[in-house]
């Protein structure tokens, strides 16, 4: 098994493309470094395109839930404790799921923006 470090492997790869007669002219668009930058750029663009739609869906679901709660009126909350508990639990689970999704996407977007796309 080759015990070469990642740094050495990347250096060897870059040298190969820079010196190979077939790849020399396009060496700047070959290899792991270029692939990493390209894939990070594509992923960031995808996240940027999806975030507004997800935000819109979350806001719509929140509004729908608020409207539904308003239709129940005060008498709903005077009914048995089990119904109220079940409704509250269901609503809480939905909110936590949407909040977690929003947080994951936000963190992903920040990570790729700061670490991958803004560096040359």
pLDDT digits (tens, 9 = 90+) for 15-52: 999 999 999 999 999 999 999 999 988 888 888 888 88
pTM: 0.48
What is the predicted pLDDT for the residue at 84? 66
Residue 51's pLDDT is what? Answer: 82
Residue 108: how many CA atoms within 13 Å on its side-chain side?
17
pLDDT tens-digit series, residues 62-108 = 888 778 777 776 655 555 556 666 777 777 778 777 887 887 777 77
* Residues 6 or more apart in contact with residue 112 via CB below 8 angstroms: 40, 43, 44, 47
């Amino acid at each position: 098994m080759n015990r070469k470090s990642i740094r050495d492997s990347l250096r060897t790869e870059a040298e190969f493309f820079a010196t190979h007669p077939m790849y020399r002219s396009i060496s700047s668009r070959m290899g792991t470094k270029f692939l990493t930058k390209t894939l990070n750029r594509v992923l960031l663009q995808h996240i940027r395109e999806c975030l507004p739609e997800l935000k819109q869906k979350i806001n719509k679901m929140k509004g729908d839930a608020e409207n539904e709660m308003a239709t129940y009126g005060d008498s709903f909350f005077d009914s048995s404790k089990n119904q109220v508990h079940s409704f509250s639990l269901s609503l809480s689970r939905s909110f936590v799921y949407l909040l977690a999704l929003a947080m994951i996407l936000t963190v992903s977007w920040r990570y790729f923006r700061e670490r991958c796309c803004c560096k040359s």
